Amino acid sequence: MIKDSARAIIIGGGISGKLIAASISPYFDRVEVLEKDAKAKENSVRPGVSQGHHIHALLHAGDQMLEMIFPGFKDDMEKKGSIKIDSLNDFYWFHHGAWKIRSKSEFSTFLQSRPFLEEYIESRINIIKNIAYSYETKVLAYIGSDDKRKVIGVKILQDGERKTLSADLIIDASGAASFSKSWMEKQGQKVYEEKVEIGLCYATRQFQLPDKERDFKIKLTYPNPPFEKIGGALSKVEGGKYIATLIGYINSIKPEEVQSEEGFIKYSKKLPLPDIYQELSAGKSLSETRVFNIPHIVWRRFDRIHMPEGLIIAGDSFCRIDPFFGQGMSIAALQANEIGKNFSKGNRSTSGLQKKLAKIVKPVWSMVICEDFRYSEVKGKKPFGLAIQQWYVKKLFKISATNLSIYKDFVKVMNLTSPITTLFKPSTIKEIFKSK
Ligand SMILES: Cc1cc2nc3c(=O)[nH]c(=O)nc-3n(C[C@H](O)[C@H](O)[C@H](O)COP(=O)(O)OP(=O)(O)OC[C@H]3O[C@@H](n4cnc5c(N)ncnc54)[C@H](O)[C@@H]3O)c2cc1C
**pLDDT (tens digit per residue) in 135-152:** 999 999 999 999 999 999
The pLDDT score that the predictor gives to residue 149 is: 94
Q: Is 16 in the pocket of ligand 1 (CB under 6 A)?
A: yes
The pLDDT score that the predictor gives to residue 43 is: 82
Q: Is 11 in the pocket of ligand 1 (CB under 6 A)?
A: yes
Tens digits of per-residue pLDDT, 312-348? 999 999 999 999 999 999 999 999 999 999 999 889 9
Q: Sign of the C-alpha dihedral, residues 112, 203, 60, 228?
A: positive
The pLDDT score that the predictor gives to residue 87 is: 96
Between the CA of 389 and the centroid of ligand 1 the distance, in Å, is 29
Between the CA of 308 and the centroid of ligand 1 the distance, in Å, is 24
Between the CA of 239 and the centroid of ligand 1 the distance, in Å, is 23
Tens digits of per-residue pLDDT, 53-85? 999 999 999 999 999 999 999 999 999 999 999
The Cα–Cα gap between 9 and 35 comes to 11
Domain segments of the chain as ranges: 7-72+116-194+298-361, 83-108+196-295, 368-434
Strands 284-285 and 193-208: antiparallel
Q: Is 327 in the pocket of ligand 1 (CB under 6 A)?
A: yes
Tens digits of per-residue pLDDT, 365-383? 999 999 999 999 999 999 9
The pLDDT score that the predictor gives to residue 1 is: 38
Nearest CA to ligand 1 atom 49: 14
> What is the pLDDT confidence band of residue 256, given thresholds at 50, 70 and 90?
very high
Contact 34, 28 (CB under 8 A): no
The pLDDT score that the predictor gives to residue 42 is: 84
Average pLDDT over residues 271-295: 96
Does domain 83-108+196-295 match CATH 1.10.150? no
- In b/e form, how buried is each residue of 43-56, taking b as 16+ CB within 10 angstroms? eebbebbebbbbbb
The Cα–Cα gap between 346 and 120 comes to 30
Contact 312, 20 (CB under 8 A): no
Among residues of the chain, what percentage have pLDDT more than 90? 97
CB-based burial label for 202 (10 Å; 0-12, 13-18, 19+): buried
Same fold, 7-72+116-194+298-361 and 83-108+196-295: no
The pLDDT score that the predictor gives to residue 3 is: 41
**Does residue 299 surpass a pLDDT of 70?**
yes
Among residues of the chain, what percentage have pLDDT more than 70? 99
Contact 14, 49 (CB under 8 A): yes
> What is the pLDDT confidence band of residue 198, given thresholds at 50, 70 and 90?
very high
> What is the pLDDT confidence band of residue 395, given thresholds at 50, 70 and 90?
very high
Between the CA of 15 and the centroid of ligand 1 the distance, in Å, is 7
* CATH C-level class of 7-72+116-194+298-361: alpha beta
Instruction: Please state, rounded to an integer, the average pLDDT across all residues of the chain.
Output: 96
Query: Which atom of ligand 1 approaches the CA of 140 most closely?
Result: 41
